[in-house]
Structure 1
Amino acid sequence: MSLRLSTVILPYRRWNEGGRAAWIRAEQLGFHTAYTYDHLSWRSFRDGPWFGAIPTLTAAAAATEQLRLGTLVTSPNFRHPVTLAKELISLDDISGGRVTLGIGAGGTGFDATALLKGGEDPWTPRERADRLAEFVPLLDRLLTEDSVSCEGTYYSAHEARNIPGCVQRPRLPFAVAATGPRGLRLAARHGQAWVTTGDPRLYENGTPEQSVQALRGQAEKLAETCAALGRDVNELDKILLTGFTPDRSRPLESLDAFVDFAGRHQELGFTELVIHWPIPDSDFAADEKVFEQIAMEAPAQLR
């Protein structure tokens, strides 16, 4: 199976000051999908410009024709299934059915604390997993049923109407980010794709070889989970969001370096690699000419 190449464009630029141009260029370069982060702000970008994911993707849908669009990833940290479903149905309609929802449990940081009342503690990892386990099935229903009523521990819907539904049928695809047992079960049960960034414990001091082994282990656990639920793991795309493995910067140093990196991960069963659009003076700094060469030439070498 050929390996698809996608990109993620962080929403830090004003639309008329480089934002729009990046999405148009992503389509010209032939990327399969262009994603964006769905955060209120993110790490070193917190004190600078940062725009909302859904409005950005809506504008990108109007500026492009064939490029798939998506979040990588949305989380329950500041989203509710009912309002999110309405926005996604609208975005899927505007884009002509080109939307993929990347979704995960979220983490600590600005998203996790921005809506807290004074004195409230951030959600624990268990509570984030609990919320995701309720969020995803309800969102699935909201995107496939005309009217939904549901009383949950964390999320409820009362005759929530979502007519006419998604352009993509039965709904737009879910790409579920997961490494733990509960998240993998959600991916196996509701996902059309699985997303990982690798093993975060290896980010600082691990080796590329250890990272490959960790990713192999994650993929094997996904296969085991699918088998336990009676699903063929080959029905799911396997997406690696790059930039968070021990060799995070090396793949974008040259075309040969990327093809070597991509080939090793293709052998693990990954069907899509996502690379960050270069951002000067950041963790995602890269030579734009090399980046464009990779976009245009690497896919043909990985078929």
Structure 2
Amino acid sequence: MSASPRLSTLILPVRRWHEGGREQWQRAEELGFHAAYTYDHLAWRSFRDQAWFGALPTLTAAATATSRLRLGTMVTSPNFRHPVTLAKELITLDDISGGRITLGIGAGSNGFDATTLAQEPWSPRERTARFGEFVPLLDRLLTEDAVSHQGTYYSAEEARNIPGCVQRPRIPFAIAATGPRGLRLAARHGQAWVTTGDPKVSATGTPEDSLAAVQSQLEKLEKECVEVGRDIAELDKVFLTGFTPDGGRPLESLDAFVDFAGRHIALGFHEIVIHAPIPDSVFAADQKVFERIATEAPAQLG
């Protein structure tokens, strides 16, 4: 866990690599961000009918275009992934990046990914159950040379994962969760916990309501840590911005962002993630303000 707060960015995979994509990841490193993440979806919300590239190939390319920046998904889910194939790809990506990969992972939702493979959307109960089986199996696949497992939803037969991850014992998991079973997975298997706030509060509440809801999530996470015999201080707490009642207002100015981030850091968050601007979208923002936040906010927050 870092002693001072970190600032990271999230780059949506919407640009062709040779038409600004490569430069965007390199610029994130130049600006001094701790990490740059990307969404792991087949399609997402208003971008469904626009260019959208695969997360893991994009991160592989980013790994070869950068040298210091941490990279990761925010977040992967079981919607169209299987632990066996995902583990092989993550081990490869960790090797190519020289050990700079973090896996953000969550249970997923009933978005486009839930039906693209011509399947019926999973119920919330099944989604939670799948996530509860997916994470422990992936943990084993990334730490053991050979894994066999017969589960309700996922199975493996002598799945080989030699030589394993560059990072030992495996790449870190940043687990996105708000419910009790997901929070327990974060407490048991996570090196970090991720939240975007409370969607119900974001839809109808105030910024103060959102802070209170996030504080409640932290308290529930601590309870689950106690249940599994772990100190909550061992987990990094990551806040992905852009989904609270504040919307994009924290990116309107340096002062607005420092105020927003400071309130969350005071709750105990170690890492604040901001979306790289995308014109004419929910993530539209002034690039100059974004870059000023990247270069000046960390000193003010530290």
TM-score of the pair, normalised by structure 2: 0.99
What is the CA deviation profile of residues 95-127 of structure 1, one whole-angstrom value per residue up to 9, with x for unaligned ones?
A: 00000000000001210000124xxx3101111
Partner of 2:244: 245
- 2:72 is aligned to 70
- Decide which of 114, 135, 148 is 1:112's aligned counterpart: 114
CA distance in 1, matches of 2:284, 2:277: 5
- 3-state DSSP class of the match of 2:53? coil
Q: Match of 2:226?
A: 227
Conservation of the 8 A alpha-carbon contact between 1:199 and 1:245: yes
* Cα distance in 2, alignment partners of residues 188 and 63 from structure 1: 34
Query: Which residues of 2 match residues 30-179 of structure 1 at below 5 A?
Result: 30-117=32-119, 121-179=120-178
What are the equivalent positions in structure 2 for 1:252-263 lying under 5 Å apart? Answer: 252-263=251-262
List structure 1 runs of 4+ shifted beyond 6 angstroms. Answer: none
Q: Is the 8 A contact 1:131 1:154 kept in 2?
A: yes
Matched with 1:10 is 12
1:48 and 1:265 map into 2 onto residues whose CA distance is 33
Alpha carbons 1:35, 1:71 under 8 Å: kept:
yes
- 1: CA distance between counterparts of 2:14 and 2:256? 28
SS of 2:238's equivalent in the other structure is: strand
Provide the secondary structure at the position in 2 that maps to 1:135.
Answer: helix
Measure the CA separation in 2 of the matches of 1:128 and 1:225. 20
Aligned to 1:202: 201
Q: Which string of whole-angstrom CA distances, capped at 9 and with x for unpartnered residues, describes residues 200-226 of structure 1?
A: 002222100000000000001101110
1:291 counterpart residue number: 290
Q: Is the 8 A contact 1:104 1:178 kept in 2?
A: yes
Instruction: Quote the sequence identity (%).
Output: 76
Give CA deviations for 1:161-208 in whole Å, capped at 9, x if unaligned.
000000000000000000000000000000000000000002222100
In structure 2, stretches of 5+ residues that fail to align are none
With structure 1 as the length reference, what TM-score do the two structures score? 0.98
Output the aligned Cα RMSD: 0.6
Please state whether the residue corresponding to 1:274 is helix, strand or coil: strand
Q: C-alpha displacement at 1:248, in angstroms?
A: 1.7
Q: 1:2 & 1:220 partners in 2: Cα distance?
A: 21
Q: How many residues align?
A: 300
* Structure 1, unaligned runs of 5 or more: none
CA distance in 2, matches of 1:160, 1:33: 30
Aligned equivalents of 1:248, 1:168: Cα separation in 2: 35
- SS of the aligned residue for 1:44 comes to helix
- For residues 190 and 248 of structure 1, the distance between their equivalents in structure 2, rounded to whole angstroms, comes to 31
Q: Take 1:246 and 1:147, find their aligned partners in 2: how far apart are those partners?
A: 46
- Displacement of 1:249 in angstroms is 1.1
1:192 paired to 2:213 = no
